[in-house]
Amino acid sequence: MPRSPATKPASTARLGKSENMSGALLSNFVLHETERLRLMPKPISDKPNYKRHDDDEWFDEIRIVTVPRYKTSGMSGDEWRFSANVQLLRKGHVLFERSFSKIHYAIDFLPAIQHEYADMGCGSQDVEGNEIDFNRYCFNPGCREDGVVEYRLIDQFHRPYGDKMPKRDYLGENHRRFCEAHAKRGDCGLEDADSNYILISAPPGWEGNADLGAQQAESPSAFAGTITSLDELPAAIQEIRNEHERKTSEGTGSK
């Protein structure tokens, strides 16, 4: 008699079917991920975005300048005359200006001038129409030095609440530049803090100049003196209480 073909056990058949299903699921997953990655937004540009400091109010200086003019006339005669010129500046560049006949008129119109300039869009051109690359300057508000120390921001935060913004890698990296004197950012803030920056580029010896710049501009927080750590806070509070009690007792004794 011819031998009948051997039949696979039921458990073996189920295992083979399970392996086929796993392979199909894996294949579908790979296809799905490939398509998802293909459809993900790509970075708009390889160039980084340069994000302004949160305390940067665009123009960082307002001037009211007395402008002399020597008027000549064959009919009414010659004389010196004067006007007041209001200038809005950023990083030393005059972005907007208005003239008035009197200084106190110029002072009265300052709020209106700010609104007028804001309605124009706060562009990066000076009053003569020259395009200014403000990204090359130090991002510390008010500083006119070139930004030679460049950082990449790790995270961004909403002010004033401190909520972390969701990552949007397709928008590209966010960078900031600082001069050497302002390159040390401290540890008090969230977004503008040393721990939230990755160094991209800097000139040799910049760290020593950064420490020196911070020391020269140092303004310690005072609480009945200067404290350098939280461990010193209870003693500082007690010192205030003792001083208050002393002054109170002296005032009571003098009555």
Q: Do 112 and 148 belong together in one domain? A: no
Q: Do 74 and 142 belong together in one domain? A: no
Q: Do 208 and 145 belong together in one domain? A: yes
Residue 208 lies in a domain: yes
- Report the pLDDT value the prediction gives residue 2, as an integer from 0 to 100: 54
Residue 166 carries which side chain, given as an amino acid letter?
A: P
Residue range(s) defining the domain that contains residue 65:
61-119
Residue 88 lies in a domain: yes
Residue 69 lies in a domain: yes
User: Which structure tokens are listed for 33?
Assistant: 């991920």
Residue 22 lies in a domain: no
Closest CA to 142 of 63, 53, 230, 78: 53
What sign results for the dihedral spanned by CA atoms 164, 170, 172, 173? Answer: positive
Residues 62 and 37: beta-carbon distance below 8 Å: no
For 16-38, the pLDDT digits (tens) are: 555 565 666 767 766 766 666 56
Domain count, the chain: 2
- Supply the pTM of this predicted model: 0.67
Residues 195 and 151: beta-carbon distance below 8 Å: no
Residue 35 lies in a domain: no
Residue 187 lies in a domain: yes
Residue 205 lies in a domain: yes
> What is the percent of the chain where pLDDT is above 90?
55
Q: Do 177 and 138 belong together in one domain? A: yes
CA distances for 175 relative to 55, 80, 245, angstroms: 16, 51, 52
Q: Do 114 and 141 belong together in one domain? A: no
Residues 174 and 156: beta-carbon distance below 8 Å: yes
Residue 73 lies in a domain: yes
Q: Do 141 and 106 belong together in one domain? A: no
Q: Look at residue 66 and tell me whether its pLDDT is greater than 90.
A: yes
Give the phi and the psi of residue 7 in degrees, each rounded to 5.
Answer: -95, 140
- Report the pLDDT value the prediction gives residue 206, as an integer from 0 to 100: 94
Q: Do 89 and 144 belong together in one domain? A: no
For 144-167, the pLDDT digits (tens) are: 999 999 999 999 998 877 889 988
> How far apart, in whole angstroms, are the C-alpha atoms of residue 182 and residue 177?
9
Q: Look at residue 198 and tell me whether its pLDDT is greater than 60.
A: yes
Residues 90 and 58: beta-carbon distance below 8 Å: yes
- Report the pLDDT value the prediction gives residue 63, as an integer from 0 to 100: 96
